Chain A
Amino acid sequence: MDDLENQNLEIKLLLEAIFQKYGYDFRNYSMAHLKRRISRRQLLDGFASISEMTNRVICDADFFDRLLLDLSINVTEMFRDPTFFKAIRHQVVTFLKTYPFIKVWVAGCASGEEVYSLAILLQEEGIYDRAQIYATDFNQVVLEKARKGIYAIDRIKAYTENYQKSGGQRSFADYYSARYDAVLMAAALRERVVFADHNLVTDGVFGQMHMIVCRNVIIYFDRQLQKKVVCLFMESLIDGGFLCMGQKESLSFSEYFDQLVLINEKEKIFQKRYPPGDRSQNE
Chain B
Amino acid sequence: MSDSVPSAGPLPRHGAGTMRYEAMVMGASAGGLEALQTILSALPAHFAIPVLIVQHLSPQSENLLAEVLNRQCRIVVQEAEEKETPRAGMAYIAPPDYHLMVEADRTLSLSREERVNFSRPSIDVLFETAAEAYGDKLIGVVLTGANADGSQGLRVIKKFGGTCVVQDPRTAVAARMPQAAIESTRVDYVVPLVEIAPLIVGLLEGKHG
Chain A residues within CB distance 8 Å of chain B: 1, 4, 8, 30-33, 36-37, 73, 75, 216, 219-220, 223, 246-250, 253
Closest to A246 in B: B112
Q: How far is the CA of A281 from the CA of B82 in the complex (A)?
A: 33
Besides the known contacts A36-B113, A250-B81, 14 further A-B residue pairs in the complex with CB atoms under 8 A apart: A1-B160, A30-B103, A31-B104, A32-B129, A32-B132, A32-B133, A33-B109, A36-B125, A216-B112, A219-B109, A220-B111, A223-B83, A248-B95, A248-B98
Instruction: Report yes or no: B104 in contact with A8, Cβ–Cβ below 8 A.
Output: yes
A253 and B113 in contact, given A30-B103, A36-B125 (Cβ under 8 angstroms): no
Q: Establish whether residues B104 and A75, one from each chain, have CB atoms under 8 Å apart when the complex forms.
A: no
Which of A1, A30, A246, A249 interacts with B135 by CB under 8 Å?
A: A1
Bound complex: CA A95 to CA B80 (Å): 33
Closest to B115 in A: A75
> How big is the B interface, by class?
20 to 34
A219 near B103: Cβ-Cβ < 8 Å: no
Interface membership of chain B positions 106-137, coded 1 if the CB is closer than 8 angstroms to chain A and 0 otherwise: 00011111100000000001001100110100
The 6 closest A-B pairs by CB, nearest first: A32-B101, A32-B129, A30-B109, A216-B112, A32-B103, A73-B113
Q: What separation, in Å, do the CA atoms of A30 and B128 have in the docked complex? A: 15
Bound-complex Cα distance A253 to B84 (A): 11
How far apart are A200's CB and chain B's nearest CB, in angstroms? 16
Assess the A33–B113 pair: CB atoms within 8 A: yes
Interface mask (B151-170 → A, CB under 8 Å = 1, otherwise 0): 00000000010000000000
- Are B83 and A253 interface neighbours, CB within 8 A? yes
Chain A minimum-CB-distance residue to B80: A248
CA distance in complex: A75, B41 (Å) = 36
Q: Which residues of A contact B125 (CB under 8 A)?
A: 36
Given contacts A32-B101, A33-B109, A219-B82, contact A75 B114 (CB under 8 A): yes
Closest to A252 in B: B81
User: Taking the nearest CB of chain B, how far is it from the CB of A219, in angstroms?
Assistant: 6
Among B103, B133, B160, the most chain A Cβ lie within 10 Å of the Cβ of B103
| Whole-angstrom distance between the Cβ of B65 and the nearest chain A Cβ | 15
A31 to B106, CA, bound (A): 11
Using Cβ atoms and an 8 Å threshold, which residues of chain A touch B129?
32, 36
Q: Once bound together, how far apart are the Cα atoms of A33 and B126, in whole Å?
A: 11
Distance (whole angstroms) from the CB of A269 to the closest CB of chain B: 17
For A32, the chain B residues whose CB sits under 8 A away are 101-104, 109, 129, 132-133
Please indicate the chain B residues that have their CB under 8 angstroms from the CB of A30 in the complex: 101, 103, 109, 111
> A75 contacts which of B112, B128, B135, B160 (Cβ < 8 Å)?
B112
- Which residues from B are CB-within-8-Å of A249? 82
CB distance from B100 to the nearest CB of A (A): 10
Give Cα A269–Cα B109 distance, bound, in whole angstroms.
Answer: 21
13 contacts between A and B (CB under 8 A): A30-B101, A31-B103, A32-B129, A33-B111, A36-B113, A36-B128, A73-B111, A75-B114, A223-B83, A247-B95, A248-B110, A249-B82, A253-B83
